[in-house]
Structure 1
Amino acid sequence: MSDQAQLHKRLIHTLADSGNLRTEPWKRAAEEVPRHEFLRGGFFRRVEGAVPAAWASVPETDPGWMDACYTDESLVTQIAGTIMPTDIRGQIMRQPTSSSTLPSLVLRMLEDLEIEDGMRVLEIGTGTGYSTALLCRRLGEENVTSIEYDEDVAARARTSLGRLGMHPTLVAGDGLRGYGSGAPYDRVIATCAVRTIPSAWIEQTRPGGVILATIGGWLGSSGLAKLTVRDAGTASGPLLDGEVSFMLARPHTPPALGLLPDLSAGSSRPATFGSDILDDWSARFVVQAAVPGAQRLALQHEGQTEDVLVDVGADSWAALRQQGDHWTVRQGGPESLWDAAERQLKRWRAAGSPALEDMTVTVTPGGIAYDW
């Protein structure tokens, strides 16, 4: 048995032992798809201790490349929208824009889809093509459609899939619009995060079909939603898991902050909740749902660091400052951001501060709502 085969076998055992690979059809698919074929050209590894975050290229010739390919971890494959591991030597301090998600999460999500033979699946976010290959092995390439926003990433995935003799329907385009030519689908799965579920996904999924997607936002909290499509363009279902993190779909990334607010303006009041509540993942999700256009940053004001929420689209802001055991909030603009946040937080606290796994999601033509 080759070193690659041994590493692959070890990964399958790890995934099965951890409970992320639970059924024989998916185990067979995972055994038949070599992950390293989707990481040709290398990946980026985070540089330990670097502030701000820095990334170093790990080429295919690196002695640790093959071992990393069969480790249960996410591997960054693109930086800043265009930069590939083969494009640089040394380090780069820019944001990752594409990656190969850790196999345990990929397979757990595919298991959660409850796929049956003959089903048609739409995948949003082809990425390297690894999860697309798993779907092809499970269902047959004729039942798999995958959309990738980045044309270069899509081309590399097509090449990798072709090396394994797989030729599903691959589309380079905006996955938020779905792919109507292949509809209706029995299942839709997204390997990027979205701020809300696009209406196109619901319209292109047959009634009773399932959409599995990570709902996230600009405050950095997210949850994995499993939604059953109903009539009249609606879908609803539970959040399966908190702290599942994917990169936001590129059309859903936040706008530039532009000119920062004048923190000496606005009106001040005592705050019921301080910004320290945002350290809790579920609480941050609740606030994010209340003020979906807000971004968070730290700013200096009168010699003290304040936690600031800024909504560029609403031209509104809220700055929170701790004074001993108490918090104050100063707000400016047409919308009082922290007032809206506190209303949701009070409702959440009154319900016992449930975790994301205890929440449900309902999507209608009018928007998205959460219940707990």
Structure 2
Amino acid sequence: MPAAPDTAATGALVDGLLAQVAEQLGRPLPARLREAFQHMPRHQFLPDRIWLRDGSGGYRDVDRTADPEGWLAAAYTDQPLVTHFTEGLPTSSASMPSMVARMLLLAGVTEPNSHDQAPLRVLELGAGTGFNAGLLCILAGDEQVTTVDLAPAIAATAQENLKRVGRTPTVVAADGASGWPPGAPYDLVLATFSVDHIPPEWLAGLRPARGRIVTPWTSAWCSYGTLELTASEEGPAHGRFHSFASFMPMARPHAESRPPMTAPAGDNSAAAFSSTGLSPWAVAGGDLDAEFHIGLTVPGALYAWDTSGDHAHTRLQIQDPVTGSLATVDYDGRTAADFTVAQAGPRRLWDEVTAAYRRWEELGRPSVDKYGLTVAMGATVVWAGSPASPVAER
């Protein structure tokens, strides 16, 4: 077992991390949040083997036994650290500290309550390593914090990590999609994974008129953005999206793997062939504002790029696994003014994506933080600019 780092060395590393976080946020952290980071040693929440992004789409591991200095330095760097893989895919991680700070600031737990207010009751969904729950314990009080994780082993490890630093929130192994009714009502429901809808159980567990949900957002098309949603006296919950965060999606019990994407063949009589002047890179080339809008308004559609050259120089493949609908958009390697389109299945996916993109242009190309969401009577309305400008209803 490597020797524990001394307090002075850890303190210097924490100060360095806080400087990185302040640079990312463009301002120093509020005093209470800064103190919470100083009193919650991140390295105490990490396993002896962690994985960092390698810059090429993969991960490289850092082992505490083989490289104790590198491991400790990684613990206090402003980057996400994968802590667990399942079937070759990362399924649990220590979130990027600046993202943790952004979400806590958005959640409104960094300022003390006034004397006439009851303590905030907090439900964290996705215990992970326990680090975020530890910060919440400092900010809201151990007895006010409940943290839930679907995986019993991850929940148990989080609880052990928290006990190691003297923190005792309620730790539960359960399905986060159902919230945790025994502790309701909550002033704050904070998710550390992304969702594509707000589970009704989360809303049911909120304290009326003041309860707040903060969660990363995802869609089949685009995993990006954070939603802040607040309950109202009248019943509907209203909120806005914010332009930060890309988190792992909510894990589901017995989730099925996504089927492989196959494109309509050229000799398939069921496919409809056409051409388009809309570049596939316009809708799937990294413009997060455009992709966020498409994800909100073309539900269930996902994409992948094929650069193998087997079918075309470059191909954008679009699929709806539920209906089996497929579409491809081919670039021939010569002209970017015209692209060949094939569509098959009950949905004409490229037509839907094109209509969504044109609508985004008509709206003035709004950024992610111009969008909002209203939930009432089981219906969800997505709007751009204001609730008077709906763009989708679910």
Settle same-fold status: TM greater than 0.5.
Answer: yes
Aligned-partner Cα distance in 2 for 1:202–1:31: 33
Structure-to-structure mapping, 1:169-188, within 5 angstroms: 169-188=170-189
Aligned pairs, how many? Answer: 357
**Preserved contact between residue 314 and residue 331 of structure 2 (Cα < 8 Å):** no
Aligned-partner Cα distance in 2 for 1:60–1:45: 16
Which residue is 1:346 aligned to?
A: 358
Instruction: Pick from 268, 274, 293 the counterpart of residue 279 of structure 2.
Output: 274
CA 1:65/1:259 → structure 2, altered by over 3 Å: closer, same or farther? closer
**Preserved contact between residue 154 and residue 170 of structure 1 (Cα < 8 Å):** yes
By how many angstroms is 1:218 displaced?
A: 2.5
Aligned-partner Cα distance in 2 for 1:338–1:113: 38
Instruction: Pick from 375, 378, 383 the counterpart of residue 370 of structure 1.
Output: 383
Q: Tell me whether 183-192 or 339-348 shows the greater mean CA deviation.
A: 339-348
By how many angstroms is 1:60 displaced?
A: 4.9
Q: Tell me whether 259-268 or 186-195 shows the greater mean CA deviation.
A: 259-268
Which residue is 2:328 aligned to?
A: 319
Which structure shows the bigger proportion of residues in strand conformation? 1
Aligned-partner Cα distance in 1 for 2:330–2:352: 18
By how many angstroms is 1:29 displaced?
A: 1.3
**Preserved contact between residue 199 and residue 233 of structure 1 (Cα < 8 Å):** no
CA 1:302/1:104 → structure 2, altered by over 3 Å: closer, same or farther? closer
Which residue is 1:284 aligned to?
A: 291
Structure-to-structure mapping, 1:36-185, within 5 angstroms: 36-47=43-54, 49=56, 53-62=58-67, 63-80=69-86, 94-115=88-109, 116-117=112-113, 118-185=119-186
Aligned-partner Cα distance in 1 for 2:250–2:120: 25
2:134 counterpart letter in structure 1: A
By how many angstroms is 1:215 displaced?
A: 1.0
By how many angstroms is 1:47 displaced?
A: 4.1
Which residue is 2:340 aligned to?
A: 328
Deviations 1:54-98 (A, max 9, x none): 4324235522111211111111111126xxxxxxxxxxxx32111
1:23 counterpart letter in structure 2: P
**1:192 partner SS:** coil
**Preserved contact between residue 272 and residue 342 of structure 1 (Cα < 8 Å):** no
**1:251 partner SS:** coil
Gaps of 5+ in 2: 1-6, 114-118, 386-394
Which residue is 2:226 aligned to?
A: 224
Indicate whether 1:27 and 2:18 are aligned: no
**2:211 partner SS:** strand
By how many angstroms is 1:41 displaced?
A: 2.1
By how many angstroms is 1:203 displaced?
A: 1.2
By how many angstroms is 1:205 displaced?
A: 0.8
By how many angstroms is 1:199 displaced?
A: 1.2
**2:223 partner SS:** coil
Aligned-partner Cα distance in 1 for 2:342–2:227: 34
Aligned-partner Cα distance in 2 for 1:149–1:233: 29
CA 1:342/1:187 → structure 2, altered by over 3 Å: closer, same or farther? same
Across the aligned residues of Structure 1 and Structure 2, the Cα RMSD in angstroms comes to 2.3
CA 1:254/1:351 → structure 2, altered by over 3 Å: closer, same or farther? farther
By how many angstroms is 1:272 displaced?
A: 5.0
Identity of aligned residues (%): 31
**Preserved contact between residue 259 and residue 321 of structure 2 (Cα < 8 Å):** yes
**Preserved contact between residue 125 and residue 146 of structure 1 (Cα < 8 Å):** yes
**Preserved contact between residue 21 and residue 108 of structure 1 (Cα < 8 Å):** no
Aligned-partner Cα distance in 1 for 2:36–2:274: 58
Q: TM-score, normalised by structure 2?
A: 0.84
1:222 counterpart letter in structure 2: Y
**1:360 partner SS:** strand
1:70 counterpart letter in structure 2: Y
